[in-house]
A and B are shown apart, each in its own frame.
Chain A
């Protein structure tokens, strides 16, 4: 009993795959490896900004809002909201106080919890957590000499440091004394005048946020990007992404060409099957459908396996290099699948057009 054409088609596909198992597996493997590399590179390329963004954030604030007249807590909260979700600012208040021996020293009132997050490069013996505790910059430590509980004077009011911890940064901070903002306001009555913000994103995104912020700032208050940080970040990020893109293109082209060569060869090898089918009276369309169907199913299977393996590879690279996973991105799958299908189509169509020009009889004779 003759089989239905569609059943026959699938049977031909299946038999072609199982009879020549070795060759099919080689072709499938080539396809899958190509898809793996493409998936991994695309995932990394897509996520590298996010991953390096974490590194850039450690450079500290990239926007500084300064209000010579001072800022209220409500104003700070509003600025943080404009800056973006989950952005916490670091408010600071400044005063020049005198030590017991009459030497001037800059005292800064700040939010230690926010500072710990934003300024991870600060080297401290311990972050203060209670009232009366202070961070003494390494150069400022000299003004206190040996006093265990030194006191500071501002506008006739005294402030006693109950517990000293040391701070070292190699920058301006080394000549200052940091106390908690609560203590500072109680002691001096001065509000915070500076708000440091670490806004995530590229230079352009930061620029947009700055525009929005400037629109809502009261008279006399300014918001400025820390150009040192923002410009260097843009430069380094652009270069990294560019070089990664070039590498990804070079590697993907190589594997695509190699898959193309393998598949083309495997179709050409089967010119006898082709000739037999034609000799048995199958139409050109049917033969084309069978051969194209074969390479297409290879492409689809290969891209699915490759996508899974590529996600795993990207995640491994994320862990080894950034100590954070590169999350599988389903958006990478469509381009990978499309690429595989395209390569498969080309590698079936080229040999088929070549074969079409030859007589089946000549092929069967082995010429």
Chain B
């Protein structure tokens, strides 16, 4: 009997049920989309903020002081200590290796360039060097750590003998991409003109191997810029690892703070010192938490909107069926039977609407992610249960008020047609 009632209710009131189901569907679509995007936006924005460049700097522990003013290095080239290029691959082997998005070693040497009187700084680095790791190949270089560097022409290959010429220096030399320059007595091809807005505009940037050869320092680098995905810093992150007990140190190392990643890099590369670049690391954390917080609040607003949509449509369905309820009551149905009927109807609508809404919401979130970040979304399958649960709760809460009213209905009055 109960099932017949339920079945008939859906068959006879196809349009009403469709409308209520549609409201749930719409609400759950928006909720799914916003939660998926909201959960993902932290990671995606973290990647975007990495366009601020390296947030960790590694240099030799025994290094002497840098003496440069306005980009002119006054420290003798022979002065100071070096890191071994062959050790750098260890950066990817630390506990948080997957969070390392890229690193660029740098080695500078002053060279004579045909057409310029004073010596010119020549910086050797990786552009997009493929580093073979155990399971994959890791492509790293300034294209990852210094995303604001712009090249007119082409990036040189990391094994080539071509170089980039800084924009100001190129203007002075009237050099263009494809020209040849005499650098350190050798004819060298200019692959492109580099604009950075910094000291590199006055320098020549070349593949690391080429600079090592000119400097006579095979396998040596002066400093390494590392770009890592990090967690915003809190009080715990600022503690000094030297003063921690082993248990606390482990917990500290297991959080991807800029400080703990730097500490691990320092441990992985012999004779090195790694530090967070405070300008980038300190501020990106604040920025990130503000953006993520904003998205969560907007997601809450979406939930509110969905709840409103669903409960409004549920309230109307019960109200419209007060005659039916009156008839059931006069035929002897008790309140429990009526409540069960409405709750079952609501649950069926909620589950169907929730399922479809979940699917549509994921498609919508995927679209948003593609449009904004140009990257697909990572789907959390567990979200389905959250959405179904939310759909049930919102639907039942929405019909609560009207179900209570349904229980109070006086069958005689309603059947006579005098309002509720």
Name A residues whose Cβ lies closer than 8 Å to a Cβ of B. 23, 26, 30, 33-34, 37, 40-41, 44, 48, 51-52, 55-56, 58-60, 66, 68, 94-96, 103-106, 119, 121-123, 139-140, 142-143, 168-172, 175, 193-194, 224-229, 231-232, 235-236, 239-240, 242-244, 246-248, 250-251, 254-255, 257-259, 261-262, 265-266, 269, 317, 320-322, 366
Contact = CB atoms under 8 A, between A and B. Distances in A.
A254 B306 contact: yes
A244 B75 CA distance: 49
B164 interface: no
A258 B68 contact: no
A121 B305 contact: no
Contacts of B290: 51-52, 55, 321-322
Given A225-B197, A227-B196, A254-B305, A269 B320 contact: yes
B293 interface: yes
B287 A227 contact: no
Interface stretch (B95-103, B173-181, B185-193, B309-317): B309-317
24 contacts: A58-B283, A94-B70, A105-B65, A119-B279, A171-B57, A172-B66, A175-B65, A224-B197, A226-B198, A228-B53, A231-B148, A244-B298, A246-B368, A250-B30, A251-B34, A251-B305, A254-B309, A255-B305, A258-B23, A258-B27, A258-B309, A258-B312, A265-B316, A320-B297
B371 interface: yes
- Sorting the interface of chain B by its residue count into under 10, 10 to 19, 20 to 34 or 35 or more gives 35 or more
Given A60-B279, A255-B309, A106 B67 contact: yes
Given A26-B315, A254-B309, A170 B67 contact: no
B259 to A, nearest CB: 10
B302 A251 contact: yes
B278 interface: yes
A323 to B, nearest CB: 9
B372 A239 contact: yes
Contacts of B275: 170
B364 interface: yes
A26 B401 CA distance: 11
B62 to A, nearest CB: 11
B26 interface: yes
A227 B197 contact: yes
A246 B372 contact: yes
Max count, chain B CB within 10 A of own CB: residue among A44, A122, A194, A261: A261
Interface string B276-287: 111111110011
Nearest to B74: A96
B309 A58 contact: no
Given A55-B286, A96-B67, A257-B26, A244 B33 contact: no
B49 interface: yes
B308 interface: yes
A26 to B, nearest CB: 6
A254 B30 contact: yes
A96 B69 contact: yes
A155 to B, nearest CB: 15
Interface of B: 19, 23, 26-27, 30, 33-34, 37, 41, 45, 48-49, 51-53, 57, 65-70, 74-75, 146-148, 150, 195-198, 275-283, 286-287, 290-291, 293-295, 297-298, 301-302, 304-306, 308-309, 312-313, 315-316, 319-320, 364, 368, 371-373, 417
A93 B195 CA distance: 25
B67 A56 contact: no
Contacts of B276: 170
B82 to A, nearest CB: 16
Contacts of A139: 65-66
A194 B70 CA distance: 9
Given A55-B287, A169-B279, A231-B51, A33 B297 contact: no
Contacts of B19: 261
B65 A30 contact: no
Given A104-B65, A247-B368, 17 more contacts: A94-B69, A96-B69, A169-B278, A170-B275, A175-B65, A226-B197, A227-B148, A228-B53, A231-B147, A232-B147, A246-B368, A247-B34, A247-B295, A262-B312, A265-B316, A320-B293, A366-B417
A106 B52 contact: no
A258 B67 CA distance: 67
Contacts of B27: 254, 258
Contacts of A320: 293, 297
B311 to A, nearest CB: 9
A105 to B, nearest CB: 6
Contact of B302 (A232, A242, A247): A247
A37 B66 contact: no
B415 to A, nearest CB: 12
B298 A247 contact: yes
Given A26-B315, A105-B65, A227-B148, A243 B295 contact: yes
B167 to A, nearest CB: 10
Nearest to B279: A121
A51 B297 CA distance: 15
A170 B56 CA distance: 8
A37 B305 contact: yes
Nearest to B417: A366
Given A123-B278, A171-B277, A262-B312, A236 B45 contact: yes
Nearest to A105: B65
A321 B293 contact: yes
Contacts of B308: 30, 33-34, 255, 258
A243 B306 contact: no
Given A30-B308, A265-B316, A269-B320, A250 B302 contact: yes
A8 B46 CA distance: 63
A139 B298 CA distance: 45
A143 B287 CA distance: 36
Contacts of B302: 247, 250-251, 254
Given A33-B304, A171-B277, A261 B23 contact: yes
A151 to B, nearest CB: 17
Contacts of B34: 247, 250-251
